């Protein structure tokens, strides 16, 4: 009897664990199409309006470079930054290590690679890890919170870290 109960408990816990870890491919596809594809395009083209439209009005942005910025403070900084003359080409790519969704809220953790190219110079590569909280607003996924860093526990995020995953096909 104890053996049967133990077996049932193990099967029950295993079923719960697998159901909670199940990927939501529909949400992932929506987020890729509504958020990450347009994010990449707006960021690379320095299109401040399109980029800001991908964030909630009360977005919380945290980075070691700019500290904590909320809502218009963050969005105004994007407009200012993107309007400065800059001849460098830049590209951004990401891979997502963790993707979780519940209704109209999502949480994603991943890595990004930025490549900047300046005429006559070798390309420059930088890598970071990021965490975002997503919210669906009027049927569209947007970034509500965004945090990233280029080191974890004092260890630099590198090309090797980025190479562990498969970049999103946007």
Q: pTM of the entire structure?
A: 0.85
Residue 68 lies in a domain: yes
pLDDT in tens, 38-50: 999 999 999 999 9
Concatenated DSSP letters for 35-98? IIHHHHHHHHHT-HHHHHTTEEEEEEEEETTTEEEETHHHHHHHHHHHHS----EEEEEEEEEE
Asked whether residue 117 is domain-assigned, the answer is yes
Q: What is the residue range of 133's domain?
A: 24-163
CATH number of the domain residue 112 falls in: 3.10.450.50
Tens-place pLDDT, residues 117-155? 999 999 999 999 999 999 999 999 999 999 999 999 999
Span 59-83, pLDDT tens digits: 999 998 889 999 999 999 999 999 9
Q: How many domains does the chain have?
A: 1
Report whether pLDDT(13) > 60: no
- Residue 83 burial (CB count, 10 A): 10
Asked if 103 and 132 count as a contact pair (C-beta separation under 8 A), the reply is no
In a domain, 31, yes or no: yes
164 has pLDDT over 80: yes
Does residue 9 lie in a domain region? no
Q: Is the pLDDT of residue 19 over 80?
A: no
In a domain, 169, yes or no: no
Query: Tokens standing for 34?
Result: 């509504």
**Does any domain span residue 7?**
no
Is residue 1 in some structural domain?
no
**Alpha carbon 3 to chain centroid, angstroms:** 45
Q: In this structure, is residue 6 part of a structural domain?
A: no
Which CB contacts under 8 angstroms, 24+ apart, belong to 25-29?
27/99, 27/101, 27/106, 28/99
């Amino acid at each position: 009897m104890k053996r049967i109960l133990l077996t049932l408990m193990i099967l029950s816990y295993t079923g719960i664990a697998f159901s909670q870890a199940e990927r939501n491919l529909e949400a992932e596809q929506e987020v890729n199409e509504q958020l990450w594809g347009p994010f990449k395009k707006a960021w690379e083209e320095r299109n401040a309006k399109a980029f800001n439209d991908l964030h909630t009005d009360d977005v919380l942005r945290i980075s070691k470079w700019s500290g904590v910025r909320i809502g218009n403070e963050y969005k105004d900084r994007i407009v200012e930054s993107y309007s400065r003359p800059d001849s460098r080409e830049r590209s951004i790519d990401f891979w997502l290590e963790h993707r979780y969704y519940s209704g109209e809220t999502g949480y994603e953790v991943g890595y990004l690679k930025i490549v900047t190219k300046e005429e006559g110079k070798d390309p420059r590569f930088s890598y970071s890890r990021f965490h975002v909280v997503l919210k669906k607003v009027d049927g569209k996924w947007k970034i509500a919170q965004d945090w990233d860093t280029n080191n974890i526990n004092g260890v630099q995020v590198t090309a090797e870290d980025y190479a562990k995953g498969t970049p999103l096909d946007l």
